[in-house]
Amino acid sequence: MNRITDIKIALVQMSMSTNKEENIKSALSKVENACSNGANVVCLPELFASQYFCQTEDVQNFNLAESYNSNFIDSFSLLAKKCKTVVIIPFFEKRASGIYHNSAVVIDSDGKISGLYRKMHIPDDPGYYEKFYFTPGDLGYKSFNTSVGQLGVLICWDQWFPEAARLVSLSGANIIFYPTAIGWHPDEKEEYGENQLDSWKTVQRSHAISNGLYVASVNRVGFEENDNGSGIEFWGNSFICGPQGSVIYEASRTKEEIIYADIDLDLLENTRRNWPFLRDRRIDSYTDLDKRFVDKKPK
Amino acid sequence: MNRITDIKIALVQMSMSTNKEENIKSALSKVENACSNGANVVCLPELFASQYFCQTEDVQNFNLAESYNSNFIDSFSLLAKKCKTVVIIPFFEKRASGIYHNSAVVIDSDGKISGLYRKMHIPDDPGYYEKFYFTPGDLGYKSFNTSVGQLGVLICWDQWFPEAARLVSLSGANIIFYPTAIGWHPDEKEEYGENQLDSWKTVQRSHAISNGLYVASVNRVGFEENDNGSGIEFWGNSFICGPQGSVIYEASRTKEEIIYADIDLDLLENTRRNWPFLRDRRIDSYTDLDKRFVDKKPK
């Protein structure tokens, strides 16, 4: 692996139509655009090939899934190779009949697949019925070796769990990418909206701080209607923050846009020297983290 | 344990002189003041009985330490009983010759000791030479049963470690108190000061968010000189935030003051119902959290 000093990353904030082919075409075009602007790594939002179908529980939606080796992935591999760029492709993975995952594949700049991540933490909240669709990931937390160094990928709900960020960090990642699909319920936005968005940003910035790495979170935008005449207003606000949690760039809440940031591995090294949290973890004392709750067992 | 609906907590932000008796007297008076204002729990800053002696490594400073059963603790027990208030007393603990801890004792509102916490994560940075003085804690992470419910205590450097907050949360705490001594090096303040303070706030707010509990962090104020003509400007900014990370109240950066917040356990319950992170932790997948780094062993 080369010592990389200059990495430019790009996050593609986009909206999705109900037409899968159109979404993929749009994503390919945006990735190519990011590459032509000098990006060495481009990341797309969670499940970008479709609208966020988890707003309802409908078995027909399993038709949207793709296998790990589908043409869908191939088209991005070809583009990655052509542009010499690493591309992170979230997708609805069909692993077998009855086993589906919310996944992301990392394609290296030679078009070869660096690895697959399957979302570990699966939500189930009103409008986010993911437990119906996705089997929880079984590949664990890892960094992927690419031509621009070690990259980690986690997906959406994972972002609320410091354990996940820590484990990706311990596997050697310099950047954690969070492809995401999160937004407001229209009837909650006015009262809780700002606080929800702020909490979402804060918890991800904290992963950058406590692990001394970059965090890059990419969300979709636009209102997607559900069957009940309501829907979700995806809040965009894709952002990239540095290893002390400072936001380098953040996108709007409503517009399609590609945002960029330069990754400075010297800053990362310097931050970890000055804030040596990884040195001081009390690994002898964390056993109970694999417990649900530290209470007395019922008789 | 009673079901408590109204808890008022108080954090005593104070500055310290070089006179230990004076500092203790001042702290006793401030605790009494907080009680008279209706506080049910009062928490003092880390090592409040002295200036922050860890700026230098000097064996004479071990003279400042107190045993767990000293008169020093007794005076606060008497006050706690008199005021019917829970009091959290950080102190420099002498456990035996050659074994010292950075500790905090939780005194219940009947004056009896609920328990002892010994700082688990010990820093060693320029001006914060704590590894010289303090043996890392060996009592683990816990909640203390008090007349106002389960309270957790962590100390300063612990605040950068999400593992510590999680483990206190899993032990049942509704509030985590962070007695603290943190500030700026004068030669870093202008360039890095705002970012350092923001990172410190952000990481603690994130513990509130990912665990759905209250966080109450209490720092000292004032400039304390060291032997080299420099020193630390302790940045105050003690704050209390709710279970979604919103700051309820924060203190100034320079003044002694007591800040208060009402703890709403219904809000805590409601937050955890709506943001069910504790439900979804992948406890089958966290094994490597007890590793230093997930790399290949050198041959």
* The pLDDT of residue A15: 98
Average pLDDT over residues A264-287: 97
* The pLDDT of residue A92: 98
Do B202 and A198 lie within an 8 Å CB cutoff?
Answer: no
Average pLDDT over residues B70-97: 96
* The pLDDT of residue B172: 97
CA distances from B97 to B116, B124, B231 (A): 19, 22, 29
Average pLDDT over residues B274-292: 97
Residues of A in contact with B176 (CB under 8 A): none
Tell me the C-alpha distance between B246 and A299, whole Å.
Answer: 39
Which residue segments constitute the domains of chain B, with CATH numbers given? 6-281 (3.60.110.10)
pLDDT tens for each residue of A129-141? 999 999 999 999 9
Interface contact B59, partner A, CB < 8 A: no
- Report the percent of chain B where pLDDT is more than 90: 94
Name the residue in chain A with its Cα closest to that of B194.
A246
**pLDDT reading at A3 higher than 60:** no
Q: Do residues B269 and B263 lie in contact, with contact meaning Cβ atoms separated by under 8 Å?
A: no
Residues of B in contact with A197 (CB under 8 A): none
Residues of B annotated catalytic, as ranges: 46, 119, 156
Residues of A in contact with B276 (CB under 8 A): 125
Tell me the C-alpha distance between A231 and A128, whole Å.
Answer: 11
Do B163 and A202 lie within an 8 Å CB cutoff?
Answer: no
Average pLDDT over residues B48-73: 95
pLDDT band at A22 (very low <50, low <70, confident <90, very high): very high
> What is the radius of gyration, based on Cα positions, of chain A?
19
Average pLDDT over residues B35-39: 97
Name which of A171, A203, A273, A277 to mutate to probe chain B: the one with the most chain B Cβ atoms within 10 A of its Cβ.
Answer: A203
**pLDDT reading at A299 higher than 80:** no
* The pLDDT of residue B4: 54
* The pLDDT of residue B1: 42
Closest CA of chain B from A294, distance in Å = 5
Residues of B in contact with A136 (CB under 8 A): 282
Residue A46 falls in the annotated catalytic set: yes
Burial B146-156 (b: 16+ CB within 10 A, else e): bbbbbbbbbbb
Structure tokens at B242: 């709710």
pLDDT band at A12 (very low <50, low <70, confident <90, very high): very high
* The pLDDT of residue B92: 98
Determine what percent of chain A falls in helix, strand and coil, rounding each to the nearest 5.
Answer: 35, 30, 35
For residue A202, give the nearest of B122, B195, B202 by CB distance: B202
Interface contact A290, partner B, CB < 8 A: yes
Catalytic option among A30, A35, A46, A83? A46
Backbone phi, psi, residue A192, to 5°: -115, -10
Task: State the first-to-last Cα distance of chain B, in angstroms, to the nearest integer.
Answer: 55
Residues of A in contact with B196 (CB under 8 A): 244
Whole-prediction pTM: 0.97
**pLDDT reading at B85 higher than 90:** yes
Name the residue in chain B with its Cα closest to that of A157.
B277
- The rounded mean pLDDT for chain A is 96
Backbone phi, psi, residue B189, to 5°: -55, -45
CA distances from B150 to A37, A119, A291, B38, B100 (A): 54, 34, 19, 19, 27
> What is the radius of gyration, based on Cα positions, of chain B?
19
pLDDT tens for each residue of A30-84? 999 999 999 999 999 999 999 999 999 999 999 999 998 889 999 999 999 999 9
CA distances from A266 to A190, A207, A263, B191, B297 (A): 42, 19, 9, 18, 25
**pLDDT reading at A175 higher than 70:** yes
A183-A185-A187 Cα angle (round to 5): 150
Closest CA of chain A from B224, distance in Å = 21
Do B289 and A136 lie within an 8 Å CB cutoff?
Answer: no
* The pLDDT of residue B29: 98
**pLDDT reading at A156 higher than 60:** yes
Interface contact A284, partner B, CB < 8 A: yes
- Report the percent of chain A where pLDDT is more than 70: 98
ipTM: 0.96
**pLDDT reading at B96 higher than 70:** yes
Name which of A156, A196, A285, A287 to mutate to probe chain B: the one with the most chain B Cβ atoms within 10 A of its Cβ.
Answer: A285
Name the residue in chain B with its Cα closest to that of A123.
B280
pLDDT tens for each residue of A197-232? 999 999 999 999 999 999 999 999 999 999 888 999
DSSP-assigned letter for residue A44? P
CB neighbour list of residue A202: distance below 8 Å, 6 or more residues apart: B202, B205, B206, B209, B245
Nearest 10 degrees: CA dihedral of B173, B175, B178, B179? -100
Q: Is A139 exposed, middle or buried (0-12, 13-18, 19+ CB in 10 A)?
A: middle
Do A202 and B205 lie within an 8 Å CB cutoff?
Answer: yes
* The pLDDT of residue B5: 59
Average pLDDT over residues A89-102: 98
Tell me the C-alpha distance between B280 and A182, whole Å.
Answer: 17
Name which of B118, B182, B199, B267 to mutate to probe chain A: the one with the most chain A Cβ atoms within 10 A of its Cβ.
Answer: B199
3-state secondary structure of A121: coil
pLDDT tens for each residue of B169-208? 999 999 999 999 999 999 999 999 999 999 999 999 999 9
3-state secondary structure of A295: coil
Residues of B in contact with A125 (CB under 8 A): 274, 276
* The pLDDT of residue B6: 78
Report the range of poorest mean pLDDT among A239-248, A253-262, B288-297: B288-297
Residue A241 falls in the annotated catalytic set: no
